[in-house]
Amino acid sequence: MLPALLLGLVLAAASLSAAEGQTTPYPDRPIKIVVGFAAGGGTDVAARILAQKLSETLGQSVLVENRPGASGMIATEMVAKSAADGYTLMMGSQTTLAVAPALYRKFSIDAARDFAGVSAAGVSPLVLVVHPSVPAPSVQDLIALAKARPGTINFGSGGLGTTPHMAGELFSILAGIKMVHVAYRGEAPAINDLLGGQLHLMFANLSAVIGNVKAGSLRALAVTSAQRAATALEIPTVAEAALPGFDAATWFALVAPAATPREIVRRLNTEVTQLVGQPDTRQRFADLGMTIDIDTPEGVDRYIKSEIGKWSKVVKEADIRAPD
């Protein structure tokens, strides 16, 4: 009986060891997507569209958590330091991953080092709009006007380091002009002042001002993306109109802490790629003036790295400094 008892104990121990070595299928609990801005903005909306869809396909709740502050850097730092287990993700953007780290050095974030790209999400073009009183019917005319009146043309944005701000700085550098940036607490008040004539121009999100353009209260000169916007094909790109190679569209990407297992990253990439290919998802993005962007995790990593280089250079050349 003793040998039999010992054999039973050995087998039981082996079974327990094997059970402990088995990996619990991912996901087995709710997933959180962190957004570095308040609810209602483009990053938040993109995150919520994907969260809803992922909840259905993954069989677990996917929740969106808003952590605004410091151009998204509070959320960025929190996610970078989270457990790399696939349960805390972030809907990153040009601002949070490529611009703000160059502005807010106290956070010591390097998106290329601290995050693993999961999937591209969407691209939202901006549009260069001017108040009707500005005597510039084209981008070329606007550049000529700014050169003739250096430092007197102003442009507004929803805040320091936002894509509309950076688009204006990149435009100034490439055009060889000097404009004055006026930062607001959000895009809406800036648009209101532009409509009232307190601002000369803005690089605004297309979906936010297309109604004003159609009504004639603002004049659209060009979109900032590399290609014309599908919802406004009649508006040329800045690259076409005056500055070849200009590209400053807002982009969104789902990212995870850098050490997240590759099998989880690839699983999420596959899920998101399938979801954004669905007609209803594409339509929801299109209604917001966004187009769908699809890429591999490796492709997202390369793109983020290239954007860091591009916008860090703009921050340095324009001498943009965040408040302490």
Give the residue carrying structure tokens 């808003």.
66
Mean pLDDT of 225-252: 93
Residues 138 and 232 in one domain: yes
Residues 193 and 134 in one domain: yes
Can you give the CATH number for the domain in which 167 is found? 3.40.190.10
Tell me whether strands 219-223 and 291-292 are parallel, antiparallel or unpaired.
Answer: unpaired
- The count of C-alpha atoms lying within 13 angstroms of the C-alpha of 263, restricted to the half-sphere facing its C-beta, is 5
Residues 200 and 261 in one domain: no
Kindly tell me if the per-residue pLDDT of 12 is higher than 60.
no
Residue 21 lies in a domain: no
Mean pLDDT of 276-297: 87
pTM assigned to the model: 0.84
Give 90's strand partners: 34, 255
Give the residue carrying structure tokens 């003036």.
289
Residue 2 lies in a domain: no
Pick the last residue of a domain from 219, 241, 263. Answer: 241
76: burial class by Cβ within 10 Å (0-12, 13-18, 19+)? buried
Kindly tell me if the per-residue pLDDT of 3 is higher than 80.
no
Give the residue carrying structure tokens 């094909």.
233
Q: How confident is the model at residue 230 (pLDDT cuts 50, 70, 90)?
A: confident
99-123: b (≥16 Cβ within 10 Å) or e: bbbbbbeeeebebbebbbbbbbbbb
Residues 196 and 302 in one domain: no
Residue 323 lies in a domain: no
Mean pLDDT of 207-232: 92
φ, ψ at 146 (rounded to 5°): -65, -35
What percent of the chain is helix, strand and coil (3-state, nearest 5)?
A: 50, 20, 35
SS (H, E, C) 273-302: HHHHCCHHHHHHHHHCCCEECCCCHHHHHH
248-259: b (≥16 Cβ within 10 Å) or e: bbbbbbbbbbee
Contact between 260 and 84 under an 8 Å Cβ cutoff? The reply is yes
Q: Which two tokens stand for residue 145?
A: 């006007």
Residues 71 and 139 in one domain: no
Residues 117 and 206 in one domain: no
Residue 322 lies in a domain: no
Residue 119 lies in a domain: yes
Residue 160 lies in a domain: yes
Residues 265 and 116 in one domain: yes
Domain count, the chain: 2
Residues 76 and 164 in one domain: no
What's the rounded Cα separation, in Å, for the pair 91 and 141?
38
Residues 179 and 270 in one domain: no
Residue type, 205: N
Domain residues for 107? 31-123+249-317
Pick the last residue of a domain from 241, 260, 288. Answer: 241
**Higher model confidence: residue 3 or residue 226?**
226
Kindly tell me if the per-residue pLDDT of 77 is higher than 80.
yes
Q: Could you write out the DSSP letters of every residue in 25-69?
A: PSPSS-EEEEESS-TTSHHHHHHHHHHHHHHHHHSS-EEEEE---
Mean pLDDT of 247-263: 95
Q: Which two tokens stand for residue 256?
A: 């995870």
What pLDDT does residue 18 have? 43
Residues 260 and 284 in one domain: yes
Question: In the chain, what's the furthest Cα-to-Cα distance?
Answer: 102
Q: Which two tokens stand for residue 166?
A: 């950076």
Strand 115-124's sheet: what is its strand order? 62-66, 31-35, 88-93, 250-257, 115-124, 291-292
Helices (H), the chain: 2-21, 42-58, 73-80, 100-103, 111-114, 139-148, 163-175, 187-195, 206-215, 238-241, 262-276, 279-287, 297-317
User: Over the stretch 19-73, which tens digit does the pLDDT of each residue have?
Assistant: 444 467 899 999 999 999 888 878 888 899 999 999 999 999 999 999 988 888 9
Can you give the CATH number for the domain in which 39 is found? 3.40.190.150
Contact between 299 and 117 under an 8 Å Cβ cutoff? The reply is yes
User: Over the stretch 172-200, which tens digit does the pLDDT of each residue have?
Assistant: 999 999 999 999 888 889 999 999 999 99
Residues 194 and 55 in one domain: no
Average pLDDT, the chain: 90
User: Over the stretch 89-140, which tens digit does the pLDDT of each residue have?
Assistant: 999 999 999 999 999 888 899 999 999 999 999 888 899 999 999 999 999 9
What pLDDT does residue 20 have? 43
Pick the last residue of a domain from 195, 214, 241. Answer: 241
What pLDDT does residue 300 have? 96
What pLDDT does residue 16 have? 46
Give the residue carrying structure tokens 């981008």.
139
What's the rounded Cα separation, in Å, for the pair 37 and 281?
22
What pLDDT does residue 4 have? 52
